[in-house]
Amino acid sequence: MRNLPFLERNTRRFSVYAPRIMRFAANRKLKHNCCFYHIPKCGGTSLSEALHALVPLNLHIGEAPANTTRRAAAIYYGDKDDEIAYSDDGEHCAKVFALRELMMLAYMAHDDALVHGHLIFSHKADRHFGKSYKYVTMLRDPIARVVSNYRGATRDGYTDKPFGVYLDTDLGRNHATHNLRYFSGRPSVAVDDATEALKEAKAVIDKFALIGDIDHLDDFVDGFERIFGARPNIGRHNVSRNARPDVDQRDFAKLKSICAPDIELYRYAREQMHMRGLLRAA
């Protein structure tokens, strides 16, 4: 938010801090501590700000900012300030996620009311703090998500390859397996390990109190209120403005193939939420 133009930055800050002040004055806090696992390109920036607004000003929020932690990991592990080299989806991703996990554990040890960021599932945090926090995340159709990932990666300088070539790179495969990686708690998943990681990811999905679908935000808001006792007011931020890539039939077939585990997890999560009455759409 701090890199936005002055007026937009402060308007958005006001929309977050004004409700926090009012909730502090009224002594209204969430029924449970919340851990929001932010899967990229699933509306998480807008949701993060909406969740911030629900935390009274006197309570702490623990955030692991994406760009900041990439730079910090690059400096700590590589002694260079290079967030692209230490991206979430590159060869050093395990180090980036390890740094974020350590931050997450510190926030939970501090009993922060909200903990969030691009965090892969932490089994260690679950063992020690699972009873103190309820887990929340937001998903999106994996095919649309990868297209959005690609648009962001080309805009931010992570790739300059055509879409079909990008899908054959480690970056493309990591983007196509975000659900698999984030739910299983693995920084990256080799092809030969996908079956085992899929089982682990499904078991973790069962631990989540609420998994939303970006195309059914009303259901998410209703479910969040039911669990946490407050309704997030979700805006629409970080909308990509660069052109959508041309995806021909061959590239689409390739994309669908490498996204297969994520598609299965997306459907599984929706089924679980539907069975619990937290997602009306079947």
**153 is a domain residue:** yes
- Res. 4: pLDDT tops 70: no
What is the Cα–Cα distance from 191 to 210, expressed in whole angstroms? Answer: 29
67 sits in which H/E element = helix 66-78
Q: Let me know: does 30 contact 1? Beta carbons within 8 Å.
A: no
**269 is a domain residue:** yes
Coil, strand or helix: which one is 212? Answer: strand
- Res. 240: pLDDT tops 60: no
**280 is a domain residue:** no
Phi, psi dihedrals of residue 280, rounded to the nearest 5°: -75, -35
pLDDT tens-digit readout, 80-91: 999 999 999 999
**281 is a domain residue:** no
DSSP code of 193?
G
Percent of the chain with pLDDT over 90: 88
**1 is a domain residue:** no
Mean pLDDT of the chain: 93
Place 12 in a pLDDT band, splitting at 50, 70 and 90. confident
- Residue span of the structural domain in which 179 resides: 6-275
- Res. 244: pLDDT tops 90: no
Tokens of 68: 């900041």
Residue 114's CATH number: 3.40.50
Largest alpha-carbon pair distance within the chain? 58
Overall pTM > 0.75: yes
What is the Cα–Cα distance from 147 to 127, expressed in whole angstroms? Answer: 35
- Res. 196: pLDDT tops 90: yes
- Res. 178: pLDDT tops 80: yes
Nearest Cα neighbor of 61 from 16, 25, 120, 94 is: 16
Amino acid at 27: N
**Total domains present in the chain:** 1
